[in-house]
Amino acid sequence: MQTTRNTLNETIRTQSVELLNKHLAAAIDLHAQLKQAHWNVRGMGFIAIHELFDKVSVEVENYSDLIAERAGGLGGTANGTIQVAVKHSFLIPYPLGIADELKHIFAVAGALAAFGQSAREAIDLATKFGDVDTADLFTEVSRGIDHQLWFVESHVTPK
Whether the Cβ atoms of residue 104 and residue 56 lie closer than 8 Å to each other: no
Interatomic CA distance for residues 13 and 6, integer angstroms: 9
Neighbours of 159 (CB within 10 A): 3
Interatomic CA distance for residues 13 and 58, integer angstroms: 28
Question: Taking the chain (159 residues) in consecutive chunks of 10 residues, what is each chunk's mean pLDDT?
Answer: 86 97 98 98 95 98 98 97 96 96 97 98 97 98 98 89
pLDDT value, residue 134: 98
Domains by residue range for the chain, with CATH: 10-153 (1.20.1260.10)
**pTM, to two decimals:** 0.95
Q: Which DSSP letter does residue 92 get?
A: P
pLDDT value, residue 28: 98
Which region holds residue 130: left if phi is over 0, alpha if psi is between -120 and 50, else beta? left
